[in-house]
Amino acid sequence: MVLLGALINALLIMAGALVGRIFKNIPESMKSTVLSIIGLAVALLGIKMGFESDNFIILMISLVVGTVIGEWLDLDKQMNRLGKWVESLFSKNRTDNNQIGIAEGFVSASLIFVVGSMGVIGALDSGLRNDHNVLITKGLIDGFISIILTSTLGIGVLLSAVPVFVYQGLIALSAGVISSFIPDAALQMFIQEMTAVGGVMIFAIGLNIAGLTKIKAANLLPSLIVVGIVVAIFYIFQ
């Protein structure tokens, strides 16, 4: 089953969110400290991913062009609007002014779980070799993170399992087609540069979670598409 890895990853996120919901009555001071530490750890992961780039020009072009597109489309606003709509469907789960609503948990967790090389590589393994080990490993990591995120950001984290499944599932399903048209060298270059671009996004998300910045990280998402185009151009003319 090509989608098995993506499905297990999504289910582990949901399971972690449910466990985190049970332990939601953690003292506010502890939540605040844990949230800050999670943010710093996520930022550190982003820095590590950012150093994967072998071509700073590709990184800069992808981020700048992608961010311009994201700002124009205002994806951050659209994702928050989606989260608010979902929140309105579960009005009984609304939180007071001292807590974080569904929208922020959904947006932050979606970006954290979706961006990263493990998702791409794991989905390609599932689609090309029917090997789901990478995605299952990623699912275990995501599940643990979702426990902590849900206890601090709320039940909206559970909903992030949907874009994770869709994103990885689409890559797995189209992996055969991708491999037929893209040379291995170009594919490896894309994964490498995509990881670096994603690392900058993860770094921004980490700073936001830690409360140090208010960067509209969702507006950087088009960069993940732009980097594919830029890599293709560089590969052709190198």
**What does DSSP assign to residue 52?**
T
Is residue 199's pLDDT more than 60?
yes
Question: Helix 117-129 vs helix 133-153: angle between axes, to the nearest 10 degrees?
Answer: 140
- What is residue 87's predicted lDDT score, i.e. its pLDDT? 60
Residues 6+ apart with CB under 8 A from 75: 218, 219, 221, 222
168: domain range? Answer: 4-237
Q: Which residue matches tokens 């598409």?
A: 225
Residues 6+ apart with CB under 8 A from 20: 146, 147, 148, 149, 150, 151, 157
- What is residue 99's predicted lDDT score, i.e. its pLDDT? 44
Reported as a single tens digit per residue, the pLDDT across 214-237 is: 888 889 989 988 999 999 999 988
- What is residue 117's predicted lDDT score, i.e. its pLDDT? 64
- What is residue 101's predicted lDDT score, i.e. its pLDDT? 60
Exposed, middle or buried by CB within 10 Å (0-12, 13-18, 19+), for 9?
buried
Q: How many domains does the chain have?
A: 1
Reported as a single tens digit per residue, the pLDDT across 7-51 is: 999 999 999 999 888 877 767 787 778 778 878 988 898 898 889
pTM score > 0.75 for this model?
A: no
pLDDT-based confidence at residue 130 (cuts at 50, 70, 90):
confident
User: Which helix (H) or strand (E) is 10 found in, with range?
Assistant: helix 4-22
Query: Of the candidates 20, 3, 38, which has an alpha carbon nearest to the alpha carbon of residue 157?
Result: 20
- What is residue 166's predicted lDDT score, i.e. its pLDDT? 94
- What is residue 116's predicted lDDT score, i.e. its pLDDT? 62
Is residue 170's pLDDT more than 90?
yes
